[in-house]
Amino acid sequence: MKFKNTLLAASLSFAALSFQSHADVIISGMGGEAGYGSDQTFSEFSPTFNLPFDVNIDGINFNTFRAFTNGNVDLFGGESNFEPMVTSLTVFEARGNYDCASCGDTYIGSPSEGVVAVTWLDMSTDAFHNGDDETNRQNTFQALIIDRSDDTGQAGDVDIEFRYDELSYRDEGFSLDSFTFGQSEAGFFLPNEEFIALPGSGTADILELVNTSNVGEDGIWAYSVRNGEVTLATAPTGSEGTGTELDPFMPSDDVDGSWEFEFSISDNEVVFIDPDVAIGYDYVVESGPEIASVILPTGFDADYELWLMGASGWEFTDNLTAEEEYLFGPDGVTEFRVLGIDTTNMIDPDDALAFVTGLSFVESGDVVMTQTPITEFVASPTSVSEPRMFFVLLTAFGLFAIRARRKTK
């Protein structure tokens, strides 16, 4: 087999969770009174929390953090002159919130294993002067730190997302000798004090972060931390979403009853999309490298059957076991069919959700493929189960497009 570009199956525990979002970008469902976690930080006290994973920046492993009401998160690790090293996530710095106990709430939570969330909810310096007044300007935003070490095989690799729901005010700073100081900033302070700023940082345009993005979905800005290096993430093409398990790529179009996905991807990168669901699927590579292996999910009362195309049509080949990788051989295949999802699941194919499928290819390259759900009529259904959240993970190098079409059995 040539270079095998492996796709990892999505965590089933992740798939079972139900996430809600505030205005589509703020992740909730983390417990506590407001749903953003049971821990808080306050203007008068900012407790130190342990990170459940290391974050490697410039060769320094950061493993604890403090969140502040002024919109900053400090990560601590290593030592310099007997003091811990610090790197700062400046999500949206508004210094006026630091000493204002009534100016909003700051929560610490975790939507799933391997993810840390800090949420600033309804922050408002106006509240310091006006109390609880409906005319108060408010800011609501969030930071996610997402462990990516399982995906990359490199401890300390993470994705960091800044999510902006509402930005209504900023620190305007003060002027001195034609220079303005102290305006609100947003960006990433590295241990060497280099600042990777987001657009508009330090100007009035910072409020536009809620309407812009570097990953294709307004209000979401992401950094990628790989092997100690911090960079702004690359924007995808076509499909909305960031490609993470929390925010998978969604169809970019609905063409003749088909769902189309289109986005850019780099070698060894894992991304997430939401395709359709049914009682079975056809997987067909239209162009690009052959499929080397497949991993199918649990949870569907399924006796999976693998079918391959033969001289006279589809031929039964083997039974597949959930969560076990099935290898197609050194040359791979360009198409295969999976059947056996029990109809009692009542999975609605009209929901553009997904069937957790892990795929690998025999080599890197440009891939265009289809995943076609196979449906079966069930007379007089009494109910349809709630949509399940799950993902197809696909990886290749260059442009990747998927079109999910419906087929009736």
One-character DSSP codes across 70-139 = TSEEEEEEEEETTEEEEEEEESS--GGGTT-TTS-EEEEE-SSTTEEEEEEEEE-THHHHHSS-TT---E
Please give the pLDDT value at position 41: 84
Give the per-residue pLDDT at 263.
53
CB contact set of 61 (below 8 Å; sequence gap of 6+):
54, 55, 77, 78, 156
- Measured distance CA(76)–CA(88) in Å, rounded: 9
What pLDDT score does 369 carry?
79
- Look up residue 199 and give its DSSP letter: T
- Tell me the H-state helices in 153-194: none
What's the whole-model pTM score? 0.56
Q: 254 pairs with which residues across the strands?
A: 259
Tens of pLDDT along the chain (409 residues) come to: 333 333 332 222 222 222 333 346 899 889 998 999 999 988 677 899 999 999 999 999 999 999 998 889 999 997 766 678 899 999 998 876 555 656 788 999 998 889 999 999 988 765 555 556 566 688 899 999 999 998 889 999 999 999 999 998 887 666 666 565 568 899 999 998 899 999 999 888 999 999 998 877 789 899 999 999 999 987 555 556 655 545 655 655 554 444 455 555 555 555 554 443 467 778 888 888 888 899 887 777 678 899 999 888 889 999 999 888 999 999 999 999 988 776 566 656 555 455 667 788 888 776 777 777 776 544 333 333 333 333 334 433 333 333 334 444 4
Q: Structure tokens of 138? A: 């408010």
Task: Give percent helix, percent strand, percent coil of the chain, each to the nearest 5.
Answer: 5, 45, 50
- Residue 274 is predicted with a pLDDT of 45
Under 8 Å between Cβ of 108 and 115: no
SS3 388: coil
Maximum pairwise Cα distance, the chain: 83
Three-state DSSP state, 196 = strand
Q: Which residues lie closer than 8 Å to 331 by C-beta, 6 or more apart?
A: 290, 362
Q: Where are the alpha helices (DSSP H) in 88-168?
A: 126-130, 149-152
Q: Counting beta carbons within 10 angstroms of the beta carbon of residue 256, is it exposed (0 to 12), middle (13 to 18) or buried (19 or more)?
A: exposed
Residue 102 CB contacts under 8 Å (≥ 6 apart), including other chains: 127, 128, 131
pLDDT for the residue 107: 94
Distance CA 325, CA 47 (A): 44
CA 178 to CA 76: how far, in whole Å? 36
Pick from 111, 119, 109: nearest CA to 143: 119
User: Cα torsion for 9, 13, 16, 20, to the nearest 10°?
Assistant: -100
Of 295, 282, 260, residue with least CA distance to 373: 282
pLDDT value of residue 277: 46
pLDDT at 128: 52
Q: Are 399 and 319 in contact (CB under 8 A)?
A: no
The pLDDT value recorded for residue 138 is 82
Euclidean distance between CA atoms 350 and 289, whole angstroms: 30
The reported pLDDT for the residue numbered 74 is 95
Residues 6+ positions from 7 with CB-CB distance below 8 Å: 270, 358, 359, 360, 361, 393, 394, 395
Euclidean distance between CA atoms 37 and 26, whole angstroms: 13
pLDDT of residue 384: 37
Handedness of CA 335, 276, 348, 17 (dihedral sign): positive
Q: Pull the structure tokens for residue 236.
A: 């995808």
Quote the CA–CA distance of 170 and 130 in Å, as a whole number: 17
Short-list 140, 99, 103, 147, CA closest to 119: 140
Query: How many Cβ atoms are within 10 Å of 87's Cβ, its own excluded?
Result: 23
**Domain map of the chain by residue range?**
20-232, 253-408
Give the C-alpha separation, 114 to 237, whole Å.
27
Give the span between the Cα atoms of 64 and 51, in whole angstroms.
5
Residue 16, classed as helix, strand or coil, is helix
The predicted pLDDT at position 35 comes to 92
Count of Cβ atoms closer than 10 Å to residue 101 Cβ: 12
